């Protein structure tokens, strides 16, 4: 075997191993119902009493369980605190059930703490997809885009981010693509809701990617 081919195989194997190490999907199917899934941390930006728990749901994209947020608060969140991801993607399937003020489902990334992170969300009451950055506990709007978000229906929300570039994809269609540098460096990833949204989540996934 030539040295060039050996080097290529070694490099490819290293990249593949790194990709595998930094990619994971959570279906919540092995977690006990009625409690927060193992390895996750939940809280709220601002005031409120969020309630995140694993529950059985017959409509789950990957049966039998989902993660449900049934409490309320300014901005409830649930994250994987040990993740340190700067560039990559985060994706989740979500189903907005009820909420008089909001029916939202979202994802967070570059999460430093409960007051500092990026968030993208879709809202069934407003029929839009939006992108924000949160600093010092204050949510700041980057962009809103109209989009059909029927309630009581499963949707897929995905965000790809590398350096300043952010791309928000909802149900397979790109809705937002822009540059923003308010929150840099690595952080945790997770899920997000707003106000009195009762929302189901399933198949949460994330993965690392290099800056291009």
* Sign of the C-alpha dihedral computed for residues 200, 100, 140 and 142 taken in this order: positive
**pLDDT number for residue 12:** 36
Contacts of 25 (CB under 8 A, 6+ apart): 203, 204, 205
Residue 18 pLDDT > 50, yes or no?
no
- Give the pLDDT confidence score for residue 212 in this predicted structure: 55
Q: Per residue, what are the HEC states of the chain?
A: CCHHHHHHHHHHHHHHHHHHHCEEEECCCCCCCCCCCCCCEEEEEEEEECCEEEEECCCCCCCCEEEEECCEEEEEEEEEEEEEECCEEEEEEEEEEECCCCCEEEEEEEEEECCEEEEEEEECCCCEEEEEEEECCEEEEEEEEECCCCCCCCEEEEEEEECCEEEEEECCEEEEEEECCCCCCCEEEEEECCECCEEEEEEEEEEECCCC
Q: What is the mean pLDDT of residues 44-73?
A: 98
Its sign, for the CA torsion 21, 25, 26, 27, is negative
The two three-digit tokens of residue 44, written as one number: 């709220």
Mean of pLDDT values over 13-19: 36
pLDDT of residue 14: 36
How much is the pLDDT for 209? Answer: 85
User: Where do the domains of the chain lie, and which CATH numbers do they carry?
Assistant: 26-208 (2.60.120.560)
Between residues 109 and 5, the one the model is more confident about: 109
Out of 18-22, 29-33, 192-196, least confident range? 18-22
% pLDDT > 90, the chain:
87
pLDDT at 17 over 90: no
Looking at residue 23, its pLDDT comes to 84
Q: Average pLDDT over the chain, rounded to whole?
A: 91
The percentage of residues in the chain with a pLDDT greater than 70, rounded to a whole number, is: 88
* Interval 147-158 mean pLDDT: 98
- Mean pLDDT (whole number) for 79-107: 98
Per-residue pLDDT of 128-148, as tens digits, reads 999 999 999 999 999 999 999
pLDDT at 117: 98
């Amino acid at each position: 075997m030539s040295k060039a081919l050996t080097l290529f195989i070694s490099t490819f194997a290293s990249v593949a191993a790194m990709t595998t190490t930094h990619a994971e999907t959570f279906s919540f199917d092995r977690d006990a119902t009625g409690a927060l899934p193992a390895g996750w941390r939940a809280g709220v930006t601002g005031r409120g009493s969020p309630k995140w728990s694993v529950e059985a749901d017959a409509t789950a994209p990957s049966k039998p369980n989902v993660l449900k947020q049934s409490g309320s608060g300014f901005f409830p969140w649930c994250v994987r605190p040990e993740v340190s991801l700067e560039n990559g993607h985060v994706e989740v399937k979500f189903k907005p059930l009820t909420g008089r003020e909001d029916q939202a489902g979202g994802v967070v990334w570059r999460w430093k703490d409960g007051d500092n992170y990026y968030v993208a969300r879709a809202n069934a009451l407003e029929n839009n997809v939006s992108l924000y950055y949160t600093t010092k506990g204050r949510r700041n709007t980057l962009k809103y885009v109209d989009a059909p978000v029927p309630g009581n229906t499963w949707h897929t929300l995905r965000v790809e981010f590398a350096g300043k570039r952010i791309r928000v994809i909802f149900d397979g269609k790109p809705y937002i693509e822009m540059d923003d540098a308010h929150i840099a460096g690595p952080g945790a990833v997770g899920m997000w809701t707003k106000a009195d949204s009762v929302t189901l989540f399933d198949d949460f996934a994330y993965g690392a990617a290099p800056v291009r």
